[in-house]
């Protein structure tokens, strides 16, 4: 439901909502008819919640579309990623902990290799390993362009991020990667004919010229290309959209960054295990209405193809869950942002298991275990991930009826 239509229905109360996201939770069986990672894992606490609550499965973006974690989280936060796109440059910057404020321009960068005529010979600089690209990123970080502040940070291998900060900048710029070899990189060109776009293009071209000077004698990577220019999309924030004071408990920068885009406070804490995260929630329980808790390692194990490892991470979350339940949330959602089946070693398009536990208002279904098969037969059915927030607000008794 669009935020503007939801707003008149909001009825703030003192209830507490928790969204627990195990990244890449959805999985696949290794053998036909075998269990998925979630079904293989011993999860007595989640199974009890499944029996008391209602199961379903979410579609993160659209059926068949494999999402990145950025858009998949925005969907869970209630923002249809197709209507609220966040630029690739911004997501990459958030992924390495670089802040992108409104008006900043972020871009993804690639190291590439150029011949003596200035034509690209390798668009990814031979996928130069991170150890070799790190000192090159340090060189780039020294570049100064008058009138703007620039931050550069390594992503991985041949990839880095640049954020330009200053007055009157515009992200309306075209990629400089020509997508083929044997031609020179493109200059940064404005995609809109505005003074800000022309000026920003000029500033990035100056930066690229400096970068090429610094890299001129490098054998493996003597040039750069930039793409995905973007700025903070200025999304509606959680407090105004939902009347919720919201906080994020996450270990990895990407998720804190996406949470910040929707106006959540970021809770800092020691440790990185589920019990550390739940302890951080407990410590700030009275200060917020909504907690987003992010568990990363389910996704990492899935991408490693480590079925048992992913199941084990799910078990550690389950074992720590009583700490969260002791706080007596009014609504607890346990889900993933997308599927990352160990069998595919990557994100996938499959629907994502979803558990809704709301003791005051849950309508139970016949499911008694938290798993993909049970979720596919659960009472919530299959729904868009961006409908989860209105559902949570309703179960928190925070929505008035629509119409008389
Ligand atoms: Zn993810």
If you measure from the C-alpha of residue 265 to the centroid of ligand 1, how many angstroms do you get, rounded to a whole number? Answer: 20
Burial (Cβ within 10 Å: 0-12, 13-18, ≥19) of residue 225: buried
Question: Are 47 and 161 members of one domain?
Answer: no
Structure tokens at 126: 């031979």
Q: Which domain holds residue 317?
A: 3-86+235-395
Both 138 and 188 in one domain: the answer is yes
Secondary structure (H, E, C), 257-319? HHHHHCCCEECCCCCCCHHHHHHHHHHCHHHCCEEEEEECHHHHHHHCCCHHHHHHHHHHHHH
Residue 244 and residue 200 in one domain: no
Interacting residues of 83 by C-beta distance below 8 A, sequence separation 6+: none
Quote the ligand 1 centre to 35 CA distance (angstroms). Answer: 21
* Distance of alpha carbon 337 from the chain centroid: 8
CA of 352 to the centre of ligand 1 (A): 11
* CATH code: domain of residue 355: 3.40.720.10
The rounded Å distance from CA 13 to ligand 1 centre is 31
Name the one residue in this structure whose structure tokens are 């706080």: 327
Q: How far, in Å, from the CA of 338 to the mean position of ligand 1?
A: 6
Query: 254 alpha carbon to ligand 1 midpoint, in Å?
Result: 10
Burial of 169 (0-12, 13-18, 19+ CB in 10 A): buried
Q: Which two tokens stand for residue 186?
A: 């493109």
pTM value? 0.90
Q: How far apart are CA 210 and CA 290, in angstroms?
A: 46
Final residue in a domain of this structure, among 195, 230, 265: 230
Say how many Å lie between the CA of residue 102 and the centre of ligand 1. Answer: 24
Q: How many domains would you assign to the chain?
A: 2
Any domain includes 347: yes
What stretches in the chain show pLDDT beneath 50? none
In a domain, 28, yes or no: yes
Q: Separation of 4 CA from ligand 1 center, angstroms?
A: 28
- Please tell me the distance between residue 213's alpha carbon and the centre of ligand 1 in angstroms: 38
**pLDDT value, residue 403:** 86
Domain boundary among 204, 230, 256: 230
What does the pLDDT look like over 6-48, one tens digit per residue? Answer: 999 999 999 999 999 999 999 999 999 999 999 999 999 999 9
369 with 266, same domain: the answer is: yes
How far, in Å, from the CA of 152 to the mean position of ligand 1? Answer: 24
Tell how far the Cα of 336 is from the centroid of ligand 1, in angstroms. Answer: 7
Rounded to whole angstroms, how far apart are CA atoms 367 and 349?
A: 24
* Mean pLDDT rounded to a whole number for the chain: 95
Whole-number Å distance, alpha carbon 347 to ligand 1 midpoint, is 7
CA-CA distance, 175 to 339, in Å (whole number)? Answer: 30
Query: What is the distance in A from the centroid of ligand 1 to the CA of 179?
Result: 27
202, 230, 258 — which closes off a domain?
230
CATH code of residue 177: 3.30.70
Closest CA to 114 of 204, 206, 178, 185: 185
pLDDT in tens, 84-110: 989 989 999 988 889 899 999 999 999
């Amino acid at each position: 439901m669009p935020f503007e239509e939801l707003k008149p229905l909001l009825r703030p109360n003192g209830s507490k909502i928790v969204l627990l996201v195990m990244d890449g939770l959805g999985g696949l069986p290794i053998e036909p008819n075998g269990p998925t990672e979630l079904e293989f894992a011993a999860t007595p606490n989640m199974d009890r919640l499944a029996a008391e609550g209602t199961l379903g499965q979410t579609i993160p973006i659209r059926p068949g579309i494999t999402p990145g974690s950025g858009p998949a989280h925005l969907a869970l936060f209630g923002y249809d990623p197709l209507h609220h796109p966040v630029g690739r440059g911004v997501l990459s910057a958030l992924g390495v902990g670089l802040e992108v404020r409104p008006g900043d321009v972020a871009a993804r960068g690639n190291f590439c290799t150029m011949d003596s005529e200035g034509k690209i010979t390798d668009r990814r600089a031979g996928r130069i390993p991170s150890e070799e690209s790190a000192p090159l990123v340090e060189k780039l970080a020294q570049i100064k362009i008058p009138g703007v502040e620039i931050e550069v940070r390594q992503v991985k291998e041949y990839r880095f991020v640049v954020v330009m900060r200053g007055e009157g900048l515009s992200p309306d710029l075209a990629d400089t990667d020509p997508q083929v070899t044997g031609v020179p990189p493109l200059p940064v060109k404005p995609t809109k004919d505005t003074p800000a776009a022309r000026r920003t293009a000029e500033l990035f071209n100056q930066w690229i010229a400096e970068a090429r000077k610094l890299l001129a004698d490098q054998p493996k990577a003597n040039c750069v290309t930039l793409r995905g220019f973007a700025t903070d999309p200025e999304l509606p924030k959680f407090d105004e959209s939902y009347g919720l004071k919201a906080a994020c408990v996450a270990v990895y920068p990407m998720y804190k960054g996406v949470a910040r885009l929707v106006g959540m406070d970021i809770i800092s804490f020691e440790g990185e295990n589920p019990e550390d995260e739940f302890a951080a929630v407990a410590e700030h329980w009275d200060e917020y209405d909504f907690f987003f808790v992010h568990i990363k390692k389910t996704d990492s194990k899935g991408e490693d193809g480590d079925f048992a490892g992913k199941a084990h991470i799910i078990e550690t979350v389950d074992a720590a869950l009583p700490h969260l339940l002791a706080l007596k949330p009014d609504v607890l959602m346990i889900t993933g942002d997308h599927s990352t089946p160990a069998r595919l070693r990557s994100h996938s398009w499959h629907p994502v298991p979803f558990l809704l536990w709301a003791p005051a208002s849950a309508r139970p279904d016949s499911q008694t275990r938290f798993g993909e098969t049970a979720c596919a037969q659960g009472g919530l059915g299959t729904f868009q991930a961006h409908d989860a927030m209105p559902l949570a607000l309703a179960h928190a008794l925070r929505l008035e009826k629509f119409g008389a």
